[in-house]
Amino acid sequence: MLQGRVRPEVCALAKKGAKARQVPLWRYLEILVETDQDARRYVESEQTQQLDLISA
C-alpha cells in the first residue's frame, strides 16, 4: 500500500489524468511509476552495485 499527501492542484490533475485514460486513480499512478525511466535506471544501477559487492 502506498499513501501520501500531495498539493490539491496535483491531486486534481492526477484525477483528470485518470479520467482521461478511463482508469481508477490507483492504476493511473501505477502507469506513471511503471513508465518512469529515471526510476528504472536507478533500480538497474542499484542492482549492478549490489552485484559488484557480491563478486568482490
- Our count of domains for the chain comes to 1
Q: Mind listing the pLDDT tens digit for each residue in 15-55?
A: 999 999 999 999 999 999 999 988 888 866 766 666 566 66
Q: Above 70 in pLDDT, residue 9?
A: yes
Calculate the dihedral angle through the C-alpha atoms of 18, 3, 47, 52, rounding to the nearest 10 degrees.
160
Tell me the three cell numbers of residue 17.
489524468
Total-model pTM? 0.67
CA distance 11 to 17: 10
Residue 1 lies in a domain: no
pLDDT recorded at residue 42: 80
> What DSSP state is assigned to residue 35?
T
**Domain range holding 24?**
8-55
**Of how many residues is the chain composed?**
56
Residue 24 lies in a domain: yes
